[in-house]
Chain A
Amino acid sequence: MIMANSISQTANSRGHKKYGYFLGCVMPAKMPWAEKATLMISKHLGLDFEEMKETLCCVRPGVWKAINTDWWLTLTSQNLANAEKQGIILVDSCNGCWISHYETLKELTEEPAKLEMVNRNLSSIGMHFSGDLKVKHFLEVLYEDVGLKKIRSNVVRPLDGFRIMRHIGCHARKHGDKLPGYFDEILRATGVEIIDTPYDKTCCGLLLYFSDPHTSIFDRIGVKMSTAKELDIDAYAIICSGCYDQFERAVKVFKDERGISFDTPIVHFSELLAIAFGYKPDDFGMKYCRPIPTTKFIEKLASKEGKK
């Protein structure tokens, strides 16, 4: 509990009280299990954690930034102004949302002219953004604010014997090697064995899908999934919901166009954490709303429990 106290103290000193989790587009529609698992683990770790309300699309950087940078800043700042009004620390787990918020905030604080432009637009809807906000990635919250020690001490059901591959996504690599490191260490804390492959770094191809669907599906995600199939791993751990969208799409396309079916379940890393913390897969609905069933994974988990 000492850790939890220190968190609230530091949060108070910044003038913010709680974390507001930004859902984004894909998570509420396609990954309800991840949403539930994230809320569960954050509550378990004693964080003052809630879903942020009135959220809109983060304004995808891949499309909007190319179309017009000023529009991208304007539309993103609506979410930022909302977060500022709600008095929260904005937490993203989707890398696309994170980079959108992080970079907009950085640009607006560095360039007063842009902030003025944004506020001129925002005034038409009766909003104002002053830049008094903190944007964090969910990994940063877990690693820096909670700490690896506390996560390790909460693991009651280590997932040893599970071989996984992981994909963190491009945007998490943009501002330093910090986030990929956090991701690996938190995953290792759950006891899973991470398999390294040459394609770990490769993009999921979501950003490329509009432009070149063949490369995007077959050369980017296809190689990842076929490697997973070859190595016969238990799960593919991801964090970015944008990447999940592309994984799901690619699996469908592979089935339709080439008749190849992949059976490696794609799981959100918070699900692995929730299981390691002692929750059952049914607690967060692991088996629902999935194009690739997780039955094999759940069975392996059950047989492991049975052996004990």
Chain B
Amino acid sequence: MSEPKPIKSWVKLLEAGKKATKHQQSEESLQFPLRRSFRPAAPDIAKASLKRDFEVGLVYYVGDDIEQDRALCGLERRPPTAHTFKDALEKKRILLEKAGITTKLGFDKKKGVFEY
């Protein structure tokens, strides 16, 4: 049985996750095949959405096109979420740091990348 063709959007998500990682584990395991591979706390596939979560506070951005659609539906252009209330996002970031989550996941806040 042949391998099923990978789904493009999924591959894109995985690549986005790999792009957000500083040290590539998969490359290192090619160089050192006998070394037992190290698995970071956040799997590559989840990194893209976790990064968005840290940056926006929510999983999806609200851009200009979405704002337009919202206006057409008769809503305010920006939702009353962390998209509008940046204060809540700041609090979440402090919480992420104080609870040691960013450190354990290896997330570099300044550069916006996962260390490993």
Q: Do chains A and B touch in the complex (CB under 8 A)?
A: yes
Q: Which residues of A contact B (CB under 8 A)?
A: 23-26, 28-30, 32-33, 35-36, 51-57, 60, 63, 67-68, 71, 74-75, 78, 82, 121-122, 124-125, 127, 209-211, 213-214, 217, 249, 252-253, 256-257, 283-285, 288-289
Please name 10 further chain A to chain B contacts, defined as beta carbons within 8 Å, in addition to the given A32-B69, A57-B59, A78-B95, sorted by A numbering. Answer: A23-B79, A28-B83, A29-B66, A30-B60, A35-B75, A35-B79, A56-B88, A56-B89, A125-B91, A213-B7
1/0 per position for B95-107, CB-CB distance to A under 8 A? 1101101001100
Q: Which residues of B contact A285 (CB under 8 A)?
A: 69, 72-74
Q: Which residues of B contact A (CB under 8 A)?
A: 4-10, 41-43, 45-46, 49-50, 53, 57-62, 66, 69-70, 72-75, 79-83, 85, 87-89, 91-92, 94-96, 98-99, 101, 104-105
Once A28-B81, A284-B73 are accepted as A-B contacts, the answer to whether A74 and B95 lie under 8 Å apart by CB is yes
The reply to whether B7 and A124 form a contact with Cβ atoms under 8 Å apart is no
- Bound-state CA distance A74–B75 (Å) is 31
Q: Which residues of A contact B7 (CB under 8 A)?
A: 213-214, 217, 253, 257
Q: Which of A57, A63, A125 has its CB near the most chain B CB atoms (within 10 A)?
A: A57
The reply to whether B91 and A32 form a contact with Cβ atoms under 8 Å apart is no
- Bound-state CA distance A165–B25 (Å) is 45
Q: How many A-B residue pairs have CB under 8 A?
A: 133
The reply to whether A74 and B53 form a contact with Cβ atoms under 8 Å apart is no
Once A30-B60, A57-B59 are accepted as A-B contacts, the answer to whether A289 and B53 lie under 8 Å apart by CB is no
Q: Please name the residue on chain A nearest to B88 by beta carbon.
A: A54
- Bound-state CA distance A33–B66 (Å) is 12
- Bound-state CA distance A213–B61 (Å) is 23
- Bound-state CA distance A283–B72 (Å) is 10
- Bound-state CA distance A54–B84 (Å) is 8
Q: Please name the residue on chain A nearest to B59 by beta carbon.
A: A25
- Bound-state CA distance A182–B8 (Å) is 38
Once A25-B59, A78-B91, A209-B10 are accepted as A-B contacts, the answer to whether A288 and B69 lie under 8 Å apart by CB is yes
Q: Which of B4, B81, B105 has its CB near the most chain A CB atoms (within 10 A)?
A: B81
Q: Please name the residue on chain B nearest to A289 by beta carbon.
A: B69
The reply to whether A28 and B99 form a contact with Cβ atoms under 8 Å apart is no
B53 CB to closest chain A CB, in angstroms? 6
Once A55-B82, A257-B8 are accepted as A-B contacts, the answer to whether A210 and B46 lie under 8 Å apart by CB is yes
